[in-house]
Structure 1
Amino acid sequence: MRNFIVRTQIKGMNMLSKTKKILKSNKGEGFIDTALKILISVVVGGLILSGLYMLFKDTILPTLTEKITEMFNFNGQ
């Protein structure tokens, strides 16, 4: 019975030291870091998409519409 108690105490001490080691460790990635990365990527992606939309809306689409209209209004001259 004494051996059982000693083994249980040793296992408990080992588990306690492992738990302390894990809690003191600052290794790994937290939830806040991941959430911040996702938020930054969404904001940057939105800015890039809105910039491309403004470029297409003001510069590319009017020119494209004009060229298509000229192509279909071709008189053969």
Structure 2
Amino acid sequence: MLLKIIFLSSILLGFVVLGFGIQIFFSKKKRFPQTAIGHNSEMKKRKIFCPQTQEKIIRKNKKPWQSPF
């Protein structure tokens, strides 16, 4: 019984991977979506930056006598 479930789930997983591969291969974009925060246009629209950029902005706006924390 358990062997049947594992076999069926592996076949289903194979179809899913095959479907994703076909979709990427025949897609007009031919590119993966940008997931990095600094390169994603939707994140830029919402003013969400990478932690390194946020740290630079915070340090730029702080006065020298203020605590770094």
- More helix by percentage: 1
Same fold, judged at TM 0.5 (above) = no
TM-score (norm 1): 0.37
Greater RCO structure (CA 8 Å; 6+ sep): 2
| Bigger radius of gyration among the two | 1
